[in-house]
Copies of this chain bind each other. A is one copy, B any other.
Amino acid sequence: MQNLIPVELPLVYRLLNVGGTCLVSAAHEGQEDVMPAAWNTALDIDPGLLTVVVDKSHYTRRLMDESRLFGIALPTVSIAREVMALGSVSKNDDPAKLEKSGAEFFKFEGWDMPFVKGCAGYIVCRARDEQDIEKRYDLFVGEALAAWADPRIFDGRHWLYEKAPKDLSTLHYVAGGRFYGIGQTIDI
């Protein structure tokens, strides 16, 4: 098991500030899905709010609509292949998508949603009651209820890219199977 430390909720925005592609997790009545989403960002510090765009066509979306809970995780370079697999197939088309992705899944005690091993940070969110925005823009407003990080790359307050192995960088997706990773530190 990956060693993880808790992240205080008013510091969750720092996990999101660097702009990494995330994995969205959801579960409802025994059904589960995980999908990547590049369109995520922080929305407030305290309470720790974030937004993520999940199209109506996704299996994950239906689970979010029903359960009103979802997970956000920040995958690292070490699992780029699994992230790509989770985004290349819809569970609408292949019910065995998760098993075939090559990703390893786990759950945090008390939270019924599958997370993928090998992420830099993990956030459990409750969807705010903003169905109007969800319908119009496929945009969810999530309030962080719990969060954890891999202390090799995020010490609870700060990112450690400059010290950590390169394959622990967050992933920044554009298109066409190409990801970018953090590789420079600039102090002003």
1/0 contact trace for A154-188 toward B, CB 8 Å?
Answer: 00001101000010010111111111111111111
Task: Decide yes or no whether A27 CB sits under 8 A from chain B.
Answer: no
Q: How far is the CB of A167 from chain B (nearest CB, A)?
A: 9
Contact of A18 with B17 in the complex, beta carbons under 8 Å: no
Tallying the copies of this chain within the complex gives: 2
Contacts A18-B174, A44-B137; A182 near B180 (Cβ below 8 A): yes
Question: Which of A35-43, A90-98, A116-124 binds B?
Answer: A35-43
Chain A interface mostly: strand
Which of B21, B137, B184 is A43 in contact with, Cβ under 8 Å? B137
Q: How far is the CB of A9 from chain B (nearest CB, A)?
A: 16
Contacts of A159 in B (CB 8 A): 174, 180
Q: Can you report 14 A-B residue pairs in the complex whose CB atoms are below 8 A from each other?
A: A18-B180, A19-B20, A19-B172, A38-B42, A49-B137, A51-B139, A84-B188, A158-B174, A166-B184, A177-B188, A178-B188, A179-B188, A180-B184, A182-B182
